[in-house]
Amino acid sequence: MPHHNQILKDDDGALKRALYKSMGHSDSALRQPIIAVVNSYTNATAGHANLDVVGAEVIRGIEEAGGTAMTFGTIAPCDGIAEGHIGMRYILAGREVITASIEVMVRAHNFDAMVLLGSCDKIVPAMLMAAARLDIPAILVNGGPMYCRVCG
């Protein structure tokens, strides 16, 4: 598979550069390693509600290190909210949807590496499955433990 920077330099690279530049990416940014930031942030799932803040710090770190961060999201269904009704039938299936959606975006955009931001017991395995299948440099940043009002 060609290196990402190479596909931006090929004859067809002008269209790709124009599309990225339409979103504010500069020529110099497009010469840097392009790092996917895969974020499962949502305010509908407690374990993911902080990932917007974590994601902003990850992007800052990538850019400080000389990379160009490009973010996309995944679904993050919650077992606890889905429990006890038909929604529970979708939780395990969601793992494959997450894995496949990450694979599609990373291959379609030919990212050089990725940082995965997730939490919970279906989303983290899905992200790790995608990382294994894609076989590019990857880091998983877990959202951390949730605060429990009862436990403190």
Contact 43, 34 (CB under 8 A): no
Asked if the model's pLDDT at residue 1 lies above 50, the reply is no
The three state secondary structure string of 68-81 is EEEEEECCCCCHHH
Contact 131, 54 (CB under 8 A): no
CA distance 30 to 20: 8
Residue in the structure block whose two tokens are 């990402």: 4
CA distance 128 to 150: 31
pLDDT tens per residue, range 23-66? 999 989 999 999 999 999 999 998 899 999 999 999 999 999 99
In which order are the strands placed within the sheet that holds 138-142? 68-73, 34-39, 113-118, 138-142
pLDDT tens per residue, range 119-148? 988 999 999 999 999 999 999 999 877 665
